[in-house]
Amino acid sequence: MDTDRRKLLDAALADTDAFGDIVDHTKAMVYALAYGFFRNRSIAEDLAQDAYLALFRNLHKLESDMHLVNWLRQTATRKCIDYTRRKKNRPHLDLDSIPERHVGPIERDPILAGELALKVSELPVKMRMVVVLRFQEDLKLTEIADALGIPVNTVKTLLRRALIRLRPKVAHLTTEVAYAQSAR
């Protein structure tokens, strides 16, 4: 094999900066190929990275510098096809397409919250615990059952009975809240 035909490849084997030069000269082609295949930026970036990792692992096998571009094009194409086969039944969501949840502070009426807390504190201990875990900590019924070490049906019963007890005690609060909101 002629050593002049492998100048770039041999330099890349000896020096990571030379490999970086190869990446710089070919990245547009590899990325464009993957992006054209999927029309998804994150998938194209991942597949381009996989192609360059394969190139780094196989530098010693390439015959010449001229063979490099064809090898990369073929490898990127195969990575796209392999990805399609692996992910055929799995939909891909971009992180950019997922809406962010609003995590800001919720505006609460302190008087209403105080009244509710007072009424909840009057409940029996188990009912109070279920109400607090369900509505304050936002736990699911199965999580409450696990936390308290009781069956899920018992949690449902305690929650239902607690709400039945609370409704008449807080009925006047709902009309006050409705009146206060309509006055704004």
In order along its 184 residues, the chain shows pLDDT tens digits of 445 567 878 888 888 888 888 899 899 999 998 888 888 899 999 999 999 999 999 888 888 878 888 899 999 988 988 888 887 656 666 666 667 666 666 666 777 778 888 888 888 888 988 888 888 788 899 989 988 889 999 999 999 999 999 888 877 776 555 444 444 4
15 and 87 together in one domain: yes
Range of the domain at 177: 110-183
Residues contacting residue 38 through CB under 8 Å, at least 6 positions apart: 44, 47, 80, 83
- pLDDT score of 178: 47
- pLDDT score of 109: 72
- pLDDT score of 75: 92
52 and 132 together in one domain: no
116 and 175 together in one domain: yes
54 and 124 together in one domain: no
Task: Quote the number of domains for the chain.
Answer: 2
CA-based R_g, the chain, Å? 32
Owner of token pair 């188990």: 126
74 and 130 together in one domain: no
> 105 lies in a domain?
no
87 and 116 together in one domain: no
> 73 lies in a domain?
yes
Q: What gap in Å lies between CA 153 and CA 102, rounded to an integer?
A: 32
7 and 85 together in one domain: yes
Enter the pTM of the model. Answer: 0.47
Residues contacting residue 104 through CB under 8 Å, at least 6 positions apart: none
Query: Dmax over Cα atoms in the chain, in whole Å?
Result: 93
> 161 lies in a domain?
yes
Residues contacting residue 108 through CB under 8 Å, at least 6 positions apart: none
> 98 lies in a domain?
no
CB 48 within 8 A of CB 34: yes
- pLDDT score of 62: 85
